[in-house]
Structure 1
Amino acid sequence: MSRIARRFAALKEAGRGALIPYLEACDPDFETSLELFRAMPEAGADLIEIGMPFSDPSADGPVIQQAARRGLKAGATLPRLFEMVRAFRKNDSDTPVILMGYLNPIEVYGMLRFCEDASRAGIDGLIIVDMPPEEGSVMRACAAENGLDIIRLVAPTTDDERLKLVLSHASGFVYYVSITGITGTRSASVADLEAALPRLRAATELPVAIGFGIRTPEQAAEASRIADGAVVASALLATLAGTLDAEGHATAETVPAVLAQLRGLAKAVRQGG
Structure 2
Amino acid sequence: MTTRIDTRFAELKKQGRSAFVTFVMCGDPDLATSLAIIKALPKAGADIIEIGMPFTDPMADGPAIQAAGLRALKAGTTLKKTLDVVREFRSEDATTPIVLMGYYNPIYIYGVDKFLADAKTAGVDGLIIVDLPPEEDTELCLPAMKAGLNFIRLATPTTDDKRLPAVLANTSGFVYYVSITGITGAAAADTAQVTSAVARIKRHTDLPVCVGFGIRTPEAARGIAQAADGAVVGSALIDALKATLDTEGRATAKTVAAVADLTAALAQGVRGAKQAAE
TM-score normalised by L of structure 1: 0.99
| 2:62 equivalent in structure 1 | 61
> Which letter maps to 2:214?
G
| 1:127 equivalent in structure 2 | 128
Structure-2 separation of matches of 1:51 and 1:194? 27
Offset of residue 223 of structure 1: 1.1
Structure-2 separation of matches of 1:129 and 1:261? 26
The answer on 1:111 being equivalent to 2:112 is: yes
What SS does the aligned partner of 2:163 have? helix
Residues 47-102 of structure 1: CA deviation (Å, up to 9, x unaligned):
00000000111100000000000000001101100110010001100000000000
Give me the identity figure in percent: 55
| 1:35 equivalent in structure 2 | 36
Offset of residue 154 of structure 1: 0.3
| 1:230 equivalent in structure 2 | 231
| 1:198 equivalent in structure 2 | 199
Offset of residue 188 of structure 1: 2.0
Offset of residue 210 of structure 1: 0.1
Residues 132-175 of structure 1: CA deviation (Å, up to 9, x unaligned):
00012131232122110100000010011110111012001000
| 1:168 equivalent in structure 2 | 169
2:127–2:150 Cα contact (<8 Å) kept: yes
> Which letter maps to 1:70?
R
2:29–2:75 Cα contact (<8 Å) kept: yes
RMSD: 0.8
Name structure 2 gaps, 5 residues minimum. none
| 1:263 equivalent in structure 2 | 264
| 1:87 equivalent in structure 2 | 88
The answer on 1:16 being equivalent to 2:12 is: no
| 1:97 equivalent in structure 2 | 98
> Which letter maps to 1:266?
A
Structure-1 separation of matches of 2:88 and 2:8? 21
2:212–2:232 Cα contact (<8 Å) kept: yes
> Which letter maps to 1:121?
A
| 2:273 equivalent in structure 1 | 272
2:98–2:125 Cα contact (<8 Å) kept: yes
Offset of residue 194 of structure 1: 1.5
What SS does the aligned partner of 1:165 have? helix
Structure-2 separation of matches of 1:73 and 1:162? 38
The number of equivalent residue pairs is: 273
Structure-1 separation of matches of 2:46 and 2:260? 10
TM-score normalised by L of structure 2: 0.97
Offset of residue 225 of structure 1: 1.5
Stretch moving more, 26-35 or 215-224: 215-224
What SS does the aligned partner of 1:203 have? coil
2:142–2:170 Cα contact (<8 Å) kept: no
The answer on 1:76 being equivalent to 2:56 is: no
Offset of residue 197 of structure 1: 1.4
Stretch moving more, 104-113 or 231-240: 104-113
Structure-2 separation of matches of 1:234 and 1:144? 29
Residues 121-140 of structure 1: CA deviation (Å, up to 9, x unaligned):
00000000000000121312
Offset of residue 205 of structure 1: 0.2
Name structure 1 gaps, 5 residues minimum. none
> Which letter maps to 1:199?
R
Offset of residue 217 of structure 1: 0.7
Structure-1 separation of matches of 2:95 and 2:153? 22
What SS does the aligned partner of 1:60 have? coil
Structure-2 separation of matches of 1:254 and 1:117? 30
Runs ≥4 residues deviating over 6 A: none
| 2:245 equivalent in structure 1 | 244
> Which letter maps to 1:30?
L
| 2:219 equivalent in structure 1 | 218
